[in-house]
Structure 1
């Protein structure tokens, strides 16, 4: 079906951002089209209209003012949606033809640092990497720059990981695509059934890539000073999480200045049932 040049641009950008609601900048508004418009109008209680798509065709449309977008984005991510923000990246007065647009940020529950969509909760986003009877686990808060990692090993490592997740209650969990199904079937997520989960590129979970990501972030040549140099799974989870943050934010994450390693075995451990009974 032939469409207008603007909608052709929209569809091309939308194709590159599957699974995200695309906020497409048009003048003073972010517009949503097609299925995104249907979702947006329902979840945000917006008026659903339509726009000319060419050759007597029309597509569903709704929009929000750009100056109020943060509150609308917050409402969507609170409901478990991912939002891709697409901006005009050249001056319309200097554009030759259609104004160039591109996604400048992808907002998820664990990367939304503005407003109070999750008031009263921490802002942690976590990452899990599975090894042989062991897990690499990392979590961060991009609003504060906190960044933690550990490697959980032993016969009860799955139970300890499940309790760590319950303890920090992250807003989002990142996994490697080839490990997602196994993690789901393992029951690790059972205590947090409504948690938002996403996958990121397998290349982020390659050890060398993950390690180099951490070295570059902290401007060092070794991870010995961070206490995790002998934890390959923790390094993989930490580097993959940092790569995911860079990919979604479309820039470096300067507020993360250090990586804090910890061992779950050094603390008196309270499982999730005990924590609930103690109201912790």
Structure 2
């Protein structure tokens, strides 16, 4: 049995929410003074940043830096202990129901029905859109992420990398205006990584705002616009990717890995 959620209307795939058709005097995503703790353990401390519509933010840092917790707060799965998050001008704490349809979330863990086929998973997670296997939305996503050949296979028979692609496809079924991805490329082979990245670039070109984490930031250099470096729950850097590299004495061809390592180790500017 699959979970569905009824909604009154859904936009065609890749179309941006109508709020984008007029100018706004605020950023699409704004976080101000966000704190989060688990018991006595502080996970996020005074996180503040803004992200413009259509931009891609890469969130990087060592294990335990707070990346996953931050993404879950932005995806409205967790509430901050203190501070505020505004999305599309709305306070996330007060207007979560109105904001959630704008967001597609790819969790770090695979969130699929193991005993259902790939196709049935996509249909089940489409929030009651009654999408069929012949639906243009389904066909476009399956083609873009190269999962057509997997359609009839049970999820439990797939490799970890294949499951990751299906995990991403699920998040795209509802044409999100904001796509939040926690380590979506883990276990995906080199060829399919490029397939996924090319599709994410196409989404960015069409105005889909994206936030992504990865333990391999270098491969995202040509993709992300902004870089946030987290360490011990604090923002160490938040700036344009090329500015970050330039300020740390690296050239355009240098990937972000060494720069981020130096900053976390206290060697960066």
TM over 0.5: no
The structure with higher relative contact order (CA 8 Å, sep 6+) is 2
Name the TM-score, length of structure 1 as normaliser: 0.24
User: Which one has the largest radius of gyration?
Assistant: 1
